[in-house]
A and B are shown apart, each in its own frame.
Chain A
Amino acid sequence: MAEVEETLKRIQSQNGVQGIIIVNTEGIPIKTTLDNASTVQYAGLIHQLVMKARSTVRDIDPQNDLTFLRVRSKKNEIMIAPDKDYFLIVIQNPSD
């Protein structure tokens, strides 16, 4: 457990990382470094996006599955590691 906490701290302290959110299957954030409003917004919207992405990947080949999703935008990059029990979301602005 301590190792996990340490890793999360390290990620948080990397250059440009704006926030980390861990969401469980139901879309409820269980750990976050952002404020509540943003967290809830991110959790809800990204949940739908991941579902759609996963559905797309699996429609093409049902034996395949989504492992990582990166959304690069003008201002930042959202990286999502989905799993059947949780989502790990990190928002980073790499040019900081």
Chain B
Amino acid sequence: MKKSSLVFNSSSRAMNTSVAGHQVSQSSRHKWNFAGSQTRRNSILVGGSNRKRNILDRNANQAPRKPVRVLDNDGNDVTPLPLYHAEPGDMPSKPGRFLDEIFSSSESDQLKSTSSFNMRSFGSFLGSSLPSSLSTTASMTKGTEDSVPKLDIPIIPPPPCGQRKRDNVKQHVTEEMLDDVVDVCLTETDTISLFDLPPLIFMSEDADDTKAIKERNLQYAELCKNRTGNDKYVERSMQTFSGAPKEKQIQTDKIVMVDEGTFATIWDIYDSFCDQNKNPESEKANNPETTVNTSKGHEKRGEKSSSTLSIGSTIGSLLEMETCSLNAESNPELIMLTESFQHSLLVMERSIVANLFQPKLAAYRQLPIIKDPDSTVKPETEEKSEEGEESSSSPTLERLWAFSCELTRGWNITCMVWNKENPDLLAVAYGDCDSTNQKPSLICCWSLKNPTWPERVFHCHSCVTSLDFSANNPSQLAVGMYDGTIAIYTVQSRNNIHCIANSSECSKRHLKPVWQVNWSKQEITLSGEDRVEALVAVSADGRITKWLLCSNGLECIDLMKLKKTKNSKKKAVESKKKTEHMGSALTPGLCMDFHPTDSSVYLVGTWEGLIQKCSVANCHNVLETYQNHFCPVNSIEWSPFSPDVFLSCSSDWTIQLWKQECLTPVLSFTSAQRAVYAVRWSPNWSTIFAAINGLQVEIWDLNLSILHPTIVHQAAPGVTVTSVLFSRGTDCVLVGDSEGQVTVYQLKNLSVGQGKQVDSLEDIIGSAVSRYL
């Protein structure tokens, strides 16, 4: 007799215990039965086929069952699959409760014998029914009645709601939550085996089971035999009453169905995809399909409004606008302050101006001028202009347009320079060089794309005399001023600080006007790529200085001091000068130019009329002195085509053409009896240069004539012409005057020779030289 306190260890099988249970006394049997049923129920929940213990397994004592496979006659695997998969959230009710349900007995510990009997019969009832169902699939054809299947009672799902052990977090469902798009993830759980009916009838692979099974079967057969006629067993039947059905009606609100549609355009899909990748949380906010009807709490209205408008119907767009107006848009001021708005304004202004200036700009860029087909200009005026054009075939300057605006009206232009990298950018300095009164001056950066307003405006405290753009850093502009200050401005951004360096702290700075600044590429660096650029300035105090940009400003070193030359004729004058200047033996330098190919050599024009050729390496002695002018040399320039030739102009009314080796000028040009203030070679043709002498602009073409200028353009009365600049790549010349206007002229009808540029210049020079010899 087995003791009631059976130890259920993991090695014991429930079958064994049930076998043992048959032998115990009645009193302990029910206990055991109950316990057995407990274990049985637990074993239901033990994973069958994959032998996994999951959380539903309460009783750790339960031995894991070996996977059971049912094979029919043909050897096919017809293992019954579990009928019920509990949801992962469903915790099993306590086995005791289940029993309570069925037998409506509150106390789980005490079971009457009737209950045990009921259990038995219940078990047997089920046992009889189940094997019958199994027999169709299994090869169990033996007397199923005789065997007590080791039955695991299948749990009928679901456990009653009231006794759910699961913690239900009561969520207060709010309106907003209803509108949320909820992501429901469906995943597959592990297989939870709830019903495991191992075969009991036929011999399975387990050898140790077989014997016990056989024994049990025998015992049961005996029991059944004993049952008939035994007083202990009473037949009893039961009837379940079916409750009276009752009809009940419910009414709900009609579920409103709305048809929605949208165009899934390619860019819409792309946008959604990008947004999803960028920010998966706000993905729901960007759902384009919910735009039309939802109008609450979404952030990016603008994007969605664009997607819904792609539907294209006016009704749709009107509805969209209505719903959008619910959301108050941000302040219009804020829109206008954004960077992109300012950029749009810039582009718009340029487009408008381009519309107006289109013919002129086309002429500048040497494009064919297309007549506007919709223009309302009368045909009469057109004819007149055509006639006018045909008649003049002589070289002339045709005015295209003028850079001028309210800001610059009335200023005197002192210097103009092109940007080295962007050929459309022009820097112009405005100011009055008045030594008595230091007046502030202006630097404007103009773009060809907008001749009506400068792109950048800088104010300087002193009159600007010279400008130069850097070639290494194209946004840096060097400025030389009348009071000797040298500054470097950056033209890059509109809002930041413009002046990045100033020479006012340098101890060796110039105290006299700086007449010219020049960026020039100097030594080759170790890497050999970018040559270091040096800023060189020539000033009225006779020094030529090289400036370097250090961390705390500009520092300078002297390259050359321009000494006065001894001239026997002027000794008396000199002595006077000596006493005046108190020992300063330097003469002001007015202009300089670096050699185009050999950047260590440069020319300086001085106040005395001398042109000194100096070298960067040698700071004490000049290499050559070219002496011809007897008045200050105002401008000097190497020819861009011929490396030995340079031009100089002076206040002595002459322009001289020199060759480097020859100490006397090769050619001399005079036209008007006025001081020549500036002379410039044309970068496009070797034999053309321009000169200004106050009232007129002269264009000389050495091919045509070396005695007279080819084109003479008179300035407007009352206006003096102060600076001239050629533009590279086009046949235009810019002229700055004292009224603040930079006028762009096109050189027309200049017949330029076909031969190579350098040769034609050399030929002319050669012929001139030969004339002297």
Contacts and interface: CB of A to CB of B under 8 A. Distances in A.
Interface stretch (B303-311, B719-727, B762-770): B303-311
B267 A22 contact: no
B336 A1 contact: yes
A4 interface: yes
B352 A55 contact: no
Contacts of A95: 372, 374-377
A74 B352 CA distance: 16
B290 interface: no
Given A7-B349, A11-B348, A88 B341 contact: yes
A51 B342 CA distance: 22
B302 A25 contact: yes
B700 interface: no
B356 A48 contact: no
Interface in A1-47: 1, 3-4, 7-8, 10-11, 14-17, 22, 24-28, 30-31, 47
A62 B267 contact: yes
Nearest to B340: A83
Main secondary structure of the interface of B (DSSP, over half): helix
B280 interface: no
B77 to A, nearest CB: 53
Contact of B305 (A22, A25, A70): A25
A14 B356 contact: yes
A84 to B, nearest CB: 6
A4 B333 CA distance: 10
A48 B318 CA distance: 11
Interface in B307-328: 309-310, 312, 314, 317, 321, 324-325
Contact of B329 (A4, A28, A55): A28
A9 B673 CA distance: 47
A52 B265 CA distance: 12
A55 B310 contact: yes
A17 B353 CA distance: 10
A3 to B, nearest CB: 8
B234 interface: no
Contacts of A68: 347, 351
A51 B349 CA distance: 23
Contacts of B324: 25-26
Contacts of A88: 341, 344-345, 348
B270 interface: yes
A26 B269 CA distance: 22
Contact of B335 (A30, A59, A70): A30
Given A58-B266, A86-B341, A14 B352 contact: yes
A3 B346 CA distance: 12
Query: Which of A26, A47, A79, A86: most chain B Cβ within 10 A?
Result: A26
Nearest to B267: A58
Interface residues on B, range: 35 or more
Nearest to B271: A62
A85 B345 contact: no
A4 B341 CA distance: 9
Interface residues on A, range: 35 or more
B329 A1 contact: no
Contact of B337 (A1, A31, A75, A90): A1
Contact of A59 (B267, B338, B372, B376): B267
Interface in B426-460: 452-453
A24 B335 contact: yes
Interface in B276-317: 301-303, 305-306, 309-310, 312, 314, 317
Contacts of A79: 348, 351-352
B374 A10 contact: no
B379 interface: no
Contacts of A11: 345, 348-349, 352
B355 interface: yes
Nearest to B328: A26
Nearest to A70: B351
Contacts of B325: 26, 28
B75 interface: no
Contact of B310 (A14, A30, A51, A81): A51
Interface string A56-96: 00110011000110100011010101011110101010110
Query: Which of A1, A14, A68, A75: most chain B Cβ within 10 A?
Result: A14
B377 A90 contact: no
B336 A22 contact: yes
A62 B353 contact: no
Contacts of A31: 332, 336
Contacts of A24: 329, 332, 335
A4 B267 contact: no
A91 B324 CA distance: 27
Contacts of B270: 58, 62-63
A22 B333 CA distance: 11
A10 B349 contact: yes
B400 to A, nearest CB: 16
A28 to B, nearest CB: 7
Contact of A27 (B310, B321, B342, B377): B321
Interface string B70-92: 00000000000000000000000
A81 B352 contact: no
A15 B356 contact: yes
Query: Which of B266, B314, B372, B375: most chain A Cβ within 10 A?
Result: B266
B352 A92 contact: yes
Given A17-B352, A54-B306, A55-B267, A26 B329 contact: yes
14 contacts: A22-B332, A25-B301, A55-B265, A58-B266, A62-B266, A62-B269, A79-B348, A79-B351, A84-B302, A85-B340, A85-B341, A88-B348, A94-B356, A94-B358
For the complex of A and B, the 4 pairs showing the least CB-CB separation, nearest first, are A58-B267, A62-B270, A30-B332, A81-B344
Given A51-B310, A83-B341, A83-B344, 20 more contacts: A7-B349, A10-B349, A10-B452, A10-B453, A14-B352, A14-B353, A14-B356, A26-B329, A30-B332, A47-B317, A48-B309, A52-B312, A55-B265, A55-B267, A58-B265, A59-B266, A74-B374, A85-B302, A85-B338, A86-B341
Interface of B: 265-267, 269-271, 301-303, 305-306, 309-310, 312, 314, 317, 321, 324-325, 329, 332-333, 335-338, 340-342, 344-349, 351-353, 355-356, 358, 372, 374-377, 452-453
